[in-house]
Amino acid sequence: MSVIELVDVVKEYKSGEELITALDDVTFQASHGEMVTIIGPSGSGKSTLLNMIGLLDTPTEGAVQLNGRDVTDCSPDELTEERRSEIGFVFQDYHLLPMLTATENVELPTMWEPTLDKHDRAVDLLGRVGLSDRLSHQPTQLSGGQRQRVAIARALINEPDVLLADEPTGNLDQDTGATILDELTRLKETEEIAIVAVTHDEQLVEYADRVVELVDGTVTS
Amino acid sequence: MAWRNLGRNRVRTALATLGILIGVVAIASLGMATAALQQQATADLQGLSNEVTVSAGPDHSHDGITADQVDDIETVTGDATVVPEKSNVTTLSARNGAETRLRVTALTKADAMYNVSRGQVSNRLRSGALLTESDAERLGLEIGDPVSYNNRLYRIQGILSSSQGFGGGRRELVVPMSAMAEQDHYDSVTVLTTSEQSVESLTTDIESWFNDDDEQIVNVRNFAAVQQNVDSFLGTLQLGLLGIGSISLVVASVAILNVMLMSTVERRGEIGVLRAVGIRRGEVLRMILTEAAFLGVIGGILGVVVSAAIGVVIFEILVGSPLDAFSWQSARYLLYGMGFAVFASVLSGLYPAWKAANERPVEALRE
């Protein structure tokens, strides 16, 4: 069964007077233990699609299903809850908070819940991405690859079913990119999660189980 | 978390805190200043607030209150202390050639009317006299020295404390009643009410006893109205000063609004990330409000410390007892300042917090 599924999704938005169709009748799904890569030229709707999958945006038409549940008409607060429990994000620019240590950044999504102590899990996750010796370092004291690994650990703190990665290797050199991709592949297998990555990177395509190509808002392959 | 966010731009945080500090100092120290004025004014007026003064009115058949009338006043006023006085003006000269012109009051029951800062005051004075401090200094007189009035010598037995009644600039020599024996009538009669008696009702009683619609035999005055006027004036002054203080806190909260708005705009992408990873809107709101509240609390605490110091100085200067600054009358303004600071900070953090929390994460992440 697919973890996340988009059925006949259309996304339109207004830019000035013009009505732009960013996604036109897109159907997409990703399953546990699968890495799907979305490729396509800029402006093809990749980011919009990723926002739909990540429940950051709602479609104009069509349906979004998470673990078989229809979440299309959920309120923003309900979507926040879904993101919190089911979805992890990894961004191209890492987006770590500069004043927090690596461990605190990993704990960030759970920080507002005093009853929930994920400290041990955060330390464990950092260990799994090879950062056991960087627990108290601040992001500025870490290299790009290390930062991205902190971001991956953060994405996994709430044990999500889906991990979304927007150009995860975009700011990294070839070798570091490769280690990050090895990391993701390993996590995909051990954690049984679905990974959806948007990229320009040929290297990332090699690691994917499936590639979805988007042109002008429609899926071509 | 909120604390560390504030630490990220220390200069900005410090400036916002300074704004709050100044606001709190303005409110608290102005409030404390009026409290000091009020305390001083009340102390000054206390000696007068239980006095009713009776003097001869325009329709009086003599040039002063007669002994019979004094008896009448005693009858009307019951338990109150009735002090008839004769007064005159004289020039005192000292051996060193200094001269001073002052008022001479002759009375019995001097102990009910006067407080001395040095020496003592007895009921009838006998052959003793009381002199105001400034004149004693000018003439180089001390307790036990003789003064001459109407060719008779009196020995100074007490120095009048200068801060009694409106008597800052008072110059007075108090002598026994016998000193003015040749004067038939009393210039005035002071009635000192007991604590159960009301100054107003005694005033009315005395007036209705002596006067009717056509004839005003006596004038009766009291200072209750003066005290009320002073109190109401101080109340107005206080409101005005607190108003000025509040304006500065309003300015400070605009500064906080600006600081918080700037910092949320700067952190737009970051807040987008928070929202994306599942931080609820309420939690973002709480984080930013906490930052604003921190600014208010820090600024408030610093402001209270500075104001307390200023308060001590104010009370030292105006009242002469610095520790009175911590009496509730005055210290409550520290509390008001603190409360107002936190309230204003949270209030001005509200809009930036709301704005940050309700931004759609997609928009924020596009940064």
Identify the domain containing residue B97 by its residue range.
51-222
Q: Quick one: pLDDT at residue B367? A: 59
Nearest to A111 among B1, B273, B281 (CB): B1
Residues of B within 8 A of A99 (CB-CB) are 4-5, 7-8
Interchain CB distance below 8 Å, B278 and A83: yes
Identify the domain containing residue A142 by its residue range.
31-56+82-219
Determine the 3-state secondary structure of B97 from DSSP: coil
Q: Quick one: pLDDT at residue B245? A: 80
Residues of A within 8 A of B284 (CB-CB) are none
Q: Are β-strands B188-192 and B81-93 bridged in parallel, bridged antiparallel, or unpaired?
A: antiparallel
Interchain CB distance below 8 Å, B4 and A99: yes
Of B157, B189, B222, the one marking the end of a domain is B222
Residue A72, domain member (yes or no): no
On whether both B171 and B216 belong to a single domain, the answer is yes
CATH (domain of A113): 3.40.50.300
Residue A73, domain member (yes or no): no
Which of B276, B288, B193, B203 has its CA nearest to residue A80? B276
Interchain CB distance below 8 Å, A84 and B278: yes
Residues of B within 8 A of A140 (CB-CB) are none
State how far the Cα of B179 lies from the Cα of A140, in Å rounded to an integer: 95
Q: Express each pLDDT in A150-165 by its tens digit.
A: 999 999 998 899 999 9
Which of A24, A63, A27 has its CA nearest to residue A44? A24
Interchain CB distance below 8 Å, B279 and A109: yes
Interchain CB distance below 8 Å, A89 and B279: no
Q: Quick one: pLDDT at residue A27? A: 93
Mean pLDDT, to the nearest integer, of A106-133?
86
Residue B4 has pLDDT above 80, yes or no: no
Residue A26, domain member (yes or no): no
Counted domains in chain B: 2
Residue A169 sits at the vertex; the CA angle it makes with A168 and A175, to the nearest 5 degrees, is: 145
Mean pLDDT, to the nearest integer, of A119-147?
90
Residue B102 has pLDDT above 80, yes or no: yes
On whether both B79 and B218 belong to a single domain, the answer is yes
Mean pLDDT, to the nearest integer, of B121-146?
83
- For B274, phi then psi, to 5°, come to -55, -45
On whether both B59 and B185 belong to a single domain, the answer is yes
Is B363 in the A-facing interface, judged by CB distances under 8 Å?
Answer: no
Interchain CB distance below 8 Å, A85 and B270: no
Q: Quick one: pLDDT at residue B162? A: 62
CB contact set of B258 (below 8 Å; sequence gap of 6+): none
Interchain CB distance below 8 Å, B7 and A81: no
Mean pLDDT, to the nearest integer, of B159-172?
64
Residue A154, domain member (yes or no): yes
Structure pTM?
Answer: 0.70
Contact A76, A83 (CB under 8 A): no
Of B222, B253, B274, the one marking the end of a domain is B222
Question: How many inter-chain contacts (A to B, CB under 8 Å) are there?
Answer: 61
Q: Quick one: pLDDT at residue A212? A: 92
Banded model confidence at residue A133, pLDDT cuts 50, 70, 90? very high
Counted domains in chain A: 1
Q: Which chain A residues in 1-40 lie under 8 Å from chain B, judged by CB atoms?
A: none
Q: Express each pLDDT in A173-218 by its tens digit.
A: 888 888 888 888 988 888 889 999 998 888 888 889 999 999 988 9
Of B222, B245, B266, the one marking the end of a domain is B222
Which range has highest mean pLDDT (A174-183, A196-205, B173-182, B305-314)?
B305-314
Is B169 in the A-facing interface, judged by CB distances under 8 Å?
Answer: no
On whether both B127 and B238 belong to a single domain, the answer is no
Residue with the larger pLDDT of the pair B248 and B54 = B54
On whether both B19 and B65 belong to a single domain, the answer is no
Q: Quick one: pLDDT at residue B81? A: 86
Residue A22, domain member (yes or no): no
State how far the Cα of B129 lies from the Cα of B134, in Å rounded to an integer: 15
On whether both B33 and B160 belong to a single domain, the answer is no
Neighbours of A206 (CB within 10 A): 11
Residue A47, domain member (yes or no): yes
Residues of A within 8 A of B281 (CB-CB) are 76-77, 80
Name residue B332's beta-bridge partners: none
Residue A93, domain member (yes or no): yes
Residue with the larger pLDDT of the pair B44 and B154 = B154
Contact B157, B136 (CB under 8 A): no
Q: Quick one: pLDDT at residue B167? A: 46
Q: Express each pLDDT in A26-62 by its tens digit.
A: 999 999 999 999 998 888 888 889 999 999 988 999 9
Structure tokens at A123: 């330390």
Residue A148, domain member (yes or no): yes
State how far the Cα of B248 lies from the Cα of B31, in Å rounded to an integer: 14
Q: Express each pLDDT in B253-284 by its tens digit.
A: 888 788 888 888 888 888 888 888 888 899 99
Supply the ipTM of this predicted assembly: 0.86
Nearest to B279 among A51, A57, A112 (CB): A112
Is A210 in the B-facing interface, judged by CB distances under 8 Å?
Answer: no
On whether both B262 and B348 belong to a single domain, the answer is yes
On whether both B62 and B21 belong to a single domain, the answer is no
On whether both B136 and B261 belong to a single domain, the answer is no
In one-letter notation, the amino acid at residue A7 is V
Mean pLDDT, to the nearest integer, of B70-96?
86
State how far the Cα of B68 lies from the Cα of A35, in Å rounded to an integer: 117
Interchain CB distance below 8 Å, B273 and A91: yes
Interchain CB distance below 8 Å, B280 and A77: yes
On whether both B183 and B97 belong to a single domain, the answer is yes
Determine the 3-state secondary structure of B190 from DSSP: strand
On whether both B270 and B179 belong to a single domain, the answer is no
Is A76 in the B-facing interface, judged by CB distances under 8 Å?
Answer: yes
Residue B165 has pLDDT above 50, yes or no: no
State how far the Cα of B286 lies from the Cα of A112, in Å rounded to an integer: 10
On whether both B361 and B292 belong to a single domain, the answer is yes
Q: Quick one: pLDDT at residue B64? A: 86
Determine the 3-state secondary structure of B208 from DSSP: helix
